[in-house]
A and B are shown apart, each in its own frame.
Chain A
Amino acid sequence: MNMFKNAMAIAIVFLFGLAGADAYAHGGHQEGKEEKISAPTEPAPEPDIYSLPSKDTGETGAESGLDSLGLTEPAHETHMDTMDMKGMDMSGGTHAQHEKPQVKMSSHEWVSPSRKGYNTAVGITVFAGLVFGIMSLKRPNE
Chain B
Amino acid sequence: MANGISQLLKDRLGLHLLEYEIPEHANSVRYSLGGMTLTSFALLVVSGVLLAQFFVPDPARANQSIHYLADQVYLGWFLRGVHFWSAEALTVTLFLHMARIFFTASYKKPREANWLVGVALLVVMTTFLFTGTVIKWDQEAYEALEHFLWVAKSLGVLGLPLTEEFAQGVPIISRLYMAHISLLPIVALPLLGLHLYFVKYHQLSPDPGNPEGGKTIPFTRHLGYLRRAGAGVFTLICLLALLIAPPLGDPPVPGLEVTKPPWQFVWIYALENLWVPTLIIVPPILIVFLLSVPFVDRSEELLWKKRPLAMAVLAGTVLLFAGLILWGKFTTMTHSM
Contacts and interface: CB of A to CB of B under 8 A. Distances in A.
A11 B96 contact: yes
A60 to B, nearest CB: 11
Interface residues of B, number: 84
Contacts of B263: 15, 18-19, 21-22
Interface in B114-145: 138-140, 142, 145
Contacts of B67: 37
B72 to A, nearest CB: 6
A20 B244 contact: yes
A24 B262 CA distance: 9
A139 B224 contact: yes
B325 interface: yes
Contact of B71 (A29, A40, A122): A29
Given A4-B100, A132-B232, A106 B247 contact: yes
Nearest to B227: A135
Interface string B156-200: 000000001000111111000000000000000000000000000
Interface in B8-48: 27, 29-30
- Chain B binding surface SS class: helix
Residue from B74, B241, B247 having most chain A Cβ neighbours under 10 A: B247
A103 B169 contact: no
B320 interface: no
B253 A101 contact: yes
Contact of B228 (A70, A124, A136): A136
Given A106-B247, A125-B238, 20 more contacts: A8-B29, A12-B96, A14-B322, A21-B263, A24-B138, A29-B71, A37-B68, A49-B169, A69-B164, A71-B142, A106-B249, A110-B245, A111-B243, A120-B75, A125-B235, A129-B239, A131-B235, A132-B234, A141-B223, A141-B224
20 contacts: A1-B30, A8-B99, A12-B92, A19-B92, A24-B140, A25-B245, A26-B247, A37-B72, A40-B56, A49-B169, A68-B164, A69-B171, A70-B59, A103-B252, A106-B247, A110-B245, A116-B74, A116-B77, A140-B224, A141-B227
